[in-house]
């Protein structure tokens, strides 16, 4: 495997479905962070065959809950002092608020900017989230 | 207090109860003529819809109540930038119940979240129109006497027609119901309806594009308007439009006890000559619409006849 240096402090987002790293990169707005970010695509995986990995250096204040909505198979490792101090496996939250946005131009959220963007999980198996207002399916 | 945002907010039992009230109102209207005396219905229509608004107003007046409201966004404080949440909190001070029509999907849901009075969704964009679905259900129940053991045809624009989607959603909950979808390829039912509603329920259905072929099988035919702007090109529209026009020739293939429904307004998809056929019940449907709205208002206001 391509060798990327270890992390002293930061987050490793592992087990991303192969090809999904850029989607997560965009949703976390990582391009706006002033820290090192490594994206590893198509890394070999015993469990998945191929996977993507993102390594982010430095303390993170990003809400990582969004990732369960985008890819429920991924894992999150929190690194401190060169060690994994926390291993998170995301579950799909029943309701997500102000994490993803409704893109339906006919939705009331498009007209009233002050409304929170809320999505509910309507099909766990297929990871379907729908806007609570217009019921439009969320497409990443 | 309960709000009505989606026809599926009601269980099958609650729909049965509403229909029973509506049928009793049809038989004994005098019994109900004052049950809402002193109560006020606010019709908050952010976009014009004369038929639905008048149906709600007629329903409340027939119950002895009174009505107030506005009939377009321009004549409401929305034109000044007021949010739906603020408007409904104000309306809650003036009325006992509110029927809301809004061009944006989900607006009545927002209103219900902030309201201290029951909110009825009177249509939100292309999303939900629960009182139309309840109207369709009352029409079917009253004319056919059942929701089960029926073959229901849906014809026309099945892709964008919210009344079709909503009625299918409501009918799949009954036993032995079969659907035949009749539409051009361009206007077939959306994929989510196939997968998440029909296939998920194991409901029997098939999709065809010639109306004549299936006419003899149908117990009910729900017609909708095919709009030219839905087609990619005029050639396709011209080629297909006549296949979905119901006339006396096609009616001659139908069962004697089959009924034609239509949410109206109709343009040319049902020839005027069909209107005199006793199986054409689309104008009666409008009357059923008033009865079911009367039952709904009573249920939400928790009033009963003396």
Query: What is chain A's mean pLDDT, rounded?
Result: 86
Q: pLDDT per residue over A50-104, tens digit each?
A: 999 999 988 777 777 678 887 878 899 989 888 899 888 777 889 988 878 899 9
Contact across the interface for A134 and B125, Cβ inside 8 Å: yes
Q: Give the pLDDT confidence score for residue A3 in this predicted structure.
A: 58
Q: Give the pLDDT confidence score for residue B289 in this predicted structure.
A: 97
Along the 306 residues of chain B, how does pLDDT read in single tens digits?
Answer: 599 999 998 999 999 999 999 999 999 999 999 999 999 999 999 998 889 999 999 999 999 999 999 988 777 777 778 899 999 999 999 999 999 999 999 999 999 999 999 999 999 988 999 999 999 999 999 999 999 999 999 999 898 888 999 999 999 999 999 999 999 888 899 988 998 899 999 999 999 989 999 999 999 999 998 777 666 678 877 777 767 899 999 999 999 999 999 998 888 899 999 999 999 999 999 999 999 999 999 999 999 987
Q: pLDDT per residue over A2-11, tens digit each?
A: 556 677 888 9
Query: Positive or negative, the Cα torsion across B97, B103, B105, B111?
Result: negative
CATH fold, domain A10-89, is Alpha-Beta Plaits (3.30.70)
Within an 8 Å CB–CB cutoff, is residue B193 touching chain A?
no
Residues of B taking part in catalysis: 51-52, 80, 101, 129
CA distance B81 to chain A (A): 9
Q: Give the pLDDT confidence score for residue A4 in this predicted structure.
A: 62
B-chain residues within 8 Å CB-CB of A108?
84, 102, 104-107, 109-110, 124
Q: pLDDT per residue over B239-276, tens digit each?
A: 777 678 999 999 999 999 999 999 988 888 999 999 99
The pLDDT of A35-45, averaged and rounded, is 92
CA distance A19 to chain B (A): 26
A-chain residues within 8 Å CB-CB of B106?
107-109, 131-135
Please check whether residue B37 is in contact with residue B64, taking contact to mean a CB–CB distance below 8 angstroms.
Answer: yes
Cross-strand bridge partners of residue A55:
A12, A38
Q: Delimit the domains of chain A by residue range.
A: 10-89, 95-131
Contact across the interface for B127 and A115, Cβ inside 8 Å: no
- Is 0.90 topped by the overall pTM? no
* ipTM of the prediction: 0.86
Q: Give the pLDDT confidence score for residue A72 in this predicted structure.
A: 78
The model's confidence at residue A1, banded by pLDDT at 50, 70 and 90, is: low
Domains of chain B: 7-128+289-301 (3.40.50.1370), 131-285 (3.40.50.1370)
Contact across the interface for B196 and A115, Cβ inside 8 Å: no
Q: pLDDT per residue over B194-242, tens digit each?
A: 988 999 999 999 999 899 999 999 999 999 987 776 666 788 777 777 6
Interface of A with B (CB under 8 A): 104, 106-112, 114-115, 123, 131-137
Q: Give the pLDDT confidence score for residue B36 in this predicted structure.
A: 98
Q: Give the pLDDT confidence score for residue A2 in this predicted structure.
A: 54
């Amino acid at each position: 495997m391509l060798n990327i240096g270890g992390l002293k402090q930061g987050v490793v987002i592992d087990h991303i479905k192969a090809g999904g790293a850029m989607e997560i990169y965009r949703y976390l707005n990582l391009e706006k962070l002033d820290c090192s970010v490594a994206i590893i695509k198509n890394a070999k995986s015993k469990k998945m065959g191929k996977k993507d990995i993102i390594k982010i250096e430095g303390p993170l204040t990003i809400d990582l809950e969004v990732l369960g909505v985008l890819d429920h198979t991924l894992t999150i490792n929190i690194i401190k002092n060169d060690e994994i101090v926390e291993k998170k496996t995301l579950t799909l939250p029943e309701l997500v608020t102000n994490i993803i946005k409704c893109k339906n131009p006919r939705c009331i959220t498009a007209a009233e900017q002050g409304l929170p963007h809320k999505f509910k999980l309507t099909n766990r198996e297929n990871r379907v989230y729908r806007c609570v207002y217009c019921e439009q399916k969320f497409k990443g | 207090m309960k709000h009505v945002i989606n026809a599926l907010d009601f269980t099958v039992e609650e729909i049965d109860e509403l229909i029973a009230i509506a049928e009793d109102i049809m038989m004994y209207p005098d019994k109900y003529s004052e049950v809402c005396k002193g109560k006020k219905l606010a019709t908050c229509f952010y976009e014009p819809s004369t038929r639905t608004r008048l149906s709600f107003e007629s329903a409340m007046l027939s119950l002895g109540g009174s009505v107030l409201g506005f009939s377009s966004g321009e004549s409401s404080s929305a034109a000044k930038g007021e949010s739906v949440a603020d408007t409904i909190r104000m309306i809650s001070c003036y009325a006992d119940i509110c029927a809301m029509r809004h061009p944006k999907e989900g607006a009545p849901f927002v209103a219900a979240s902030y309201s201290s009075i029951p909110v009825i969704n009177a249509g939100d964009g292309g999303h939900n129109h629960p009182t139309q679905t309840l109207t369709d259900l009352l029409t079917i129940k009253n004319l056919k006497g059942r929701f089960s053991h029926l073959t229901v045809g849906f014809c026309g624009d099945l892709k964008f027609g919210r009344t079709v989607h909503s009625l299918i959603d409501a009918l799949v909950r009954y036993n032995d119901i079969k659907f035949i979808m009749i539409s051009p390829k361009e206007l077939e039912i959306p994929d989510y309806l196939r997968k998440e509603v029909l296939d998920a329920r194991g409901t029997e259905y098939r999709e065809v594009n010639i109306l004549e072929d299936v006419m003899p099988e149908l117990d009910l035919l729900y017609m909708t308007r095919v709009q030219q702007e839905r087609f990619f090109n005029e050639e396709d529209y011209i080629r297909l439009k006549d296949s979905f026009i119901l006339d006396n020739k096609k009616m001659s293939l139908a069962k004697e006890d089959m009924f034609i429904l239509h949410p109206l307004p109709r343009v040319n998809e049902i020839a005027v000559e069909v209107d005199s056929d006793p199986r054409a019940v689309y104008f009666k449907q409008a009357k059923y619409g008033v009865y079911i709205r009367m039952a709904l208002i009573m249920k939400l206001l928790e009033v009963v006849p003396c």
